């Protein structure tokens, strides 16, 4: 089903993000996690696209399995910074062949060998949105950044680009992970003032280990609020208590978002069914 149809049927959606395997050997264990996650009946599941594009076929395989075998709506991510225009066309055909009706259009992070790329590429996600739109058979999602994209000179400039991207044909947006709901509410106000009127899903990542934190900050630039910082310090040598406290922190974030009428919460599950289980048990919809 298309995600815009899902949005018509339900006031608030809950979705899960999974990542595909990098190798055939890892496929079986990831397939198992995905099956377990789908059994919790999320409104949809999104499947990431490997940064360099080398694992694109696994994105198709997992998104197709979710849709065609597990009867759950799926959305395939697609990035253009390291995928040629030709390969983008191929990928869209592969999505169509596999009845995948939703695509998350992304630029992707700039690869280290960016200047050595050979071939023709789209520069920004907005260009990819236009191309997907021209196929006239997908709902299109895109990314947004409540704290501003790390490469942009200011959140205002980033919002300007987001407005343009959305107007190119985006049906809904999903945020980068954030840990301070206040920043998200402020972003919603600014987006509304800018006439960005599509539904915005809040991206929440329940932290499950201290070793994730540096990576999260490095990749997303998300601020860690004092309350979460205190939890991380208190339990830095006690992984079990840390996990319980940080997952509870994520649950409190989600309950607050749902209470405040957010259209959807997208959970970065990191392929961990126990996270989804704990979250679904803890939230009130
Ligand atoms: P864009 O919208 O193109 O923006 C990138 C930067 O360029 C921003 O700073 C923006 O302000 C600026 N910009 C945009 N248009 C212009 C313009 N016309 N002129 C000047 N500057 C401009 N990465 C993966 O590799 N695989 C994934 O599966 C994946 N999934 C993601 C899912 C979500 C929900 C999110 C939030 C991120 C995901 N990412 C993924 C990471 C994402 O690819 C990176 O954050 C990337 O750096 C930016 O992608 P974008 O689509 O937001 O880019």
For 184-211, what is each residue's pLDDT tens digit?
999 999 999 999 999 999 999 999 999 8
**Residue 126 Cβ contacting ligand 1 at under 6 Å:** yes
Mean pLDDT across the chain, nearest whole number?
96
Q: How many Cα neighbours within 13 Å face the side chain of 34?
A: 31
Please say if the pLDDT value at position 39 is more than 80: yes
Distance 88 CA to ligand 1 centre (A): 16
* pLDDT tens per residue across span 238-277: 999 999 999 999 999 999 999 999 999 999 999 999 999 9
Q: Is the pLDDT of residue 114 over 80?
A: no
Mean pLDDT of 63-68: 98
pTM value?
0.97
For residue 237, the model assigns a pLDDT of 95
* Residue among 124, 170, 177, 196 to mutate when testing ligand 1 (max atoms within 8 A of CB): 124
For the cut 90, the answer to whether the pLDDT of residue 285 exceeds it is no
Percent pLDDT > 70 in the chain is: 100
DSSP secondary-structure letter at 69? Answer: I
With CA atoms as reference, report the closest residue to 20 among 53, 43, 42: 53
Q: How wide is the angle at C-alpha 76 spanned by C-alphas 75 and 81, nearest 5°?
A: 140
Catalytic residue among 17, 101, 127, 147: 17
Q: Note if 5 is an active site residue.
A: no
Residue 103 has pLDDT above 80, yes or no: yes
pLDDT, greater one: 175 or 109: 175
For ligand 1, atom 42: residue with the closest CA: 108
Is residue 49 lining ligand 1, measured as CB closer than 6 Å? yes
Residue 133: predicted pLDDT: 98
Residue in this structure with the two tokens 């997907």, named with its chain if needed = 132
In angstroms, the Cα distances linking 273 to 126, 139, 216, 252 are 33, 27, 20, 19
Segment 169-198 mean pLDDT: 98
HSE, side-chain direction, 13 A CA sphere, residue 130: 10
What is the pLDDT, as a whole number, of residue 260? 98
Average pLDDT over residues 57-83: 97
Give me the residues paired with residue 105 across strands: 78, 142
b/e code 28-67 from CB counts within 10 Å (16+ = b): eebbebbeebbebebbbbbbbbbebbebbebbbbbbbbbb
């Amino acid at each position: 089903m298309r995600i815009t149809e899902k949005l018509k049927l339900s006031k608030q959606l809950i979705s899960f993000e999974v990542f595909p395997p990098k190798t055939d050997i890892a496929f079986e264990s990831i397939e198992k996690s995905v099956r377990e996650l789908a059994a919790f009946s999320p409104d949809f599941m999104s499947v990431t696209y490997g940064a360099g594009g080398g694992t694109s076929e696994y994105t198709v395989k997992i998104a197709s399995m979710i849709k065609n075998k597990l009867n759950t709506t799926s959305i395939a991510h697609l990035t253009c910074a390291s995928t040629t225009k030709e390969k983008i066309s191929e990928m869209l055909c592969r999505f169509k062949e596999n009845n995948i009706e939703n695509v998350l259009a992304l630029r992707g992070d700039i690869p280290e060998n960016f200047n050595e790329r050979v071939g023709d590429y789209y520069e920004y996600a907005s260009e990819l949105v236009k191309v997907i739109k021209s196929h006239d058979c997908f709902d299109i999602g895109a990314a947004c950044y409540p704290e501003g994209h790390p490469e942009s000179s200011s959140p205002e400039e980033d919002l300007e680009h987001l407005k343009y991207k959305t107007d190119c044909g985006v049906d809904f947006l999903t945020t980068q992970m954030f840990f301070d709901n206040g920043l998200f509410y402020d972003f919603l106000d600014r987006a509304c003032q800018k006439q960005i009127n599509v539904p915005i899903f809040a991206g929440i990542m329940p932290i499950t280990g201290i070793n994730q934190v540096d990576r999260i900050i490095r990749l997303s630039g998300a601020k860690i609020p004092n309350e979460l910082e205190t939890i991380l310090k208190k339990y830095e040598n006690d992984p079990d208590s840390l996990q319980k406290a940080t997952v509870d922190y994520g649950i409190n974030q989600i309950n607050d978002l749902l209470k405040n009428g957010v259209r959807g919460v997208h959970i970065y599950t990191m392929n961990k069914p126990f996270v989804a289980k704990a979250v679904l048990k803890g939230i009130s919809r």
